[in-house]
A = this chain, B = another copy of it.
């Protein structure tokens, strides 16, 4: 296990800079009033390919050795990493093989193909995904870029909080959603070096709370195929991301499905931005734990904006 270093994150900053946006930070007087905190939303929904994952994907793809370029890259992903790796591979002009659950939103499948990614479908469980992927990798010989348990990916995701602390001074805390833990690990990597006084919180759906239970138990607990509206957060922690969570996260807080959907709708309505259910989990837990965040300056990572507009969660009820 190679744990990415602060120098890896700095190298990632130079490597990805031509291919990713420096996303804006938005604020909302209304949401500050509602929470009692000062919230600074880092809008990775405006990022290339619609999510922060393009940072890690570009770092992996543009760091790839020349002798791997012909075979390209491969991955499995619940969506945004697939988009992002396809985008990055397209920019470098190399093939990208993606194993994706057949239940992933149609909008994400279309977008992967739009960026030139080659999709092989699997069942919506961790076990099926890993089996199908092994086959694809054996056939293509492509370089595996794991969606989160990869030092190149974690170093890339760390560039997001490096920007955030340049854009907003004196943060007391940063909060991001946690699924596999790639964004949280990158945040830990960067902030533990550049701003160790900033507390790091992870926000997770109650219905996919394996990171929360892992954190409390002191070892990784992995569920196969949890169900949640926050479809980017169904995957379990792995050794690398567990390393960062265990050593640098202050707490993991959870929210119910209804709380996540309400928070999502509130952000759409008041901030006029389109973002995914996964990205609403931080605001949902802030609203549920006001005493923890009141009076604090809190960076909130809006992780992505790739949502199926024909299947919004408040329409399905």
Contacts and interface: CB of A to CB of B under 8 A. Distances in A.
A269 B107 contact: yes
Nearest to A29: B48
Interface string A229-267: 000000000000000000000000000000000000100
A315 B275 CA distance: 18
This protein's copies in its complex? 2
Contacts of A50: 272
A225 interface: no
Contacts of A107: 269
Nearest to A111: B269
A26 B275 CA distance: 16
A46 interface: yes
A305 interface: yes
Given A24-B24, A315-B315, A309 B265 contact: yes
B272 A268 contact: no
Contacts of A268: 274, 309
Contact of A272 (B269, B305, B310): B305
A273 B302 CA distance: 13
A272 B50 CA distance: 8
Interface string A268-288: 110011110000000000000
Contacts of A2: none
A272 B275 CA distance: 7
A157 interface: no
A80 interface: no
Contacts of A46: 26, 272
A45 interface: yes
A24, A46, A107 — most chain B CB neighbours (10 Å)? A46
A45 B272 contact: yes
Contacts of A45: 272
A178 to B, nearest CB: 22
A268 to B, nearest CB: 5
A310 B315 CA distance: 7
Contact of A273 (B265, B274, B314): B274
23 contacts: A24-B24, A26-B46, A45-B272, A46-B272, A50-B272, A107-B269, A265-B309, A268-B274, A268-B309, A269-B274, A269-B309, A272-B273, A272-B274, A272-B275, A272-B305, A273-B273, A273-B274, A274-B274, A309-B312, A309-B314, A310-B314, A310-B315, A315-B315
Given A107-B269, A312-B312, 9 more contacts: A46-B272, A50-B272, A265-B309, A268-B274, A268-B309, A272-B273, A273-B273, A273-B274, A315-B315
